[in-house]
Amino acid sequence: DAGVIQSPRHEVTEMGQEVTLRCKPISGHDYLFWYRQTMMRGLELLIYFNNNVPIDDSGMPEDRFSAKMPNASFSTLKIQPSEPRDSAVYFCASSLALYEQYFGPGTRLTVT
């Protein structure tokens, strides 16, 4: 398997623009997680899905953030409108049951 795939790897956008991050989990995994990592706040869980259903979205910062998982092989995290404070590395991870998570390479987002 190719592992968890994320795109794009780097994104630079201007404040106010919409940003969409994409993730393809490992085939057969039933959990998918979205994280944000900054130096100040460390690794924060934003939301996770089980069998395409959101289980815990308490980490989603505000209404500007939304995540979807339309099928078992694809998920998106959208920020609209983006702000400079959203600049971070966003990781997607997947797992079989709530056990060992496999992380994707991350998307480095810069909002100017």
Partner 1 sequence: GQNIDQPTEMTATEGAIVQINCTYQTSGFNGLFWYQQHAGEAPTFLSYNVLDGLEEKGRFSSFLSRSKGYSYLLLKELQMKDSASYLCAVYYGNNRLAFGKGNQVVVIP
Give the total of residues touching partner 1 (CB under 8 A). 22
- The answer to whether 2 touches 102, Cβ cutoff 8 Å, is no
96 binds partner 1 (CB under 8 A): no
Taking the complex as a whole, how short is the minimal distance between the CB of residue 14 and partner 1, in angstroms? 25
Alpha-helical segments (H) within 2-107: none
Burial of 97 (0-12, 13-18, 19+ CB in 10 A): exposed
- Sites for partner 1 among residues 12-71 (CB under 8 A): 33, 35, 41-45, 48, 55-56, 58
Taking the complex as a whole, how short is the minimal distance between the CB of residue 97 and partner 1, in angstroms? 11
Taking the complex as a whole, how short is the minimal distance between the CB of residue 43 and partner 1, in angstroms? 4
34 beta partners? 47, 92
Distance CA 53, CA 65 (A): 17
Q: Residue numbers of the site for partner 1 (CB under 8 A)?
A: 33, 35, 41-45, 48, 55-56, 58, 91, 93, 98-106
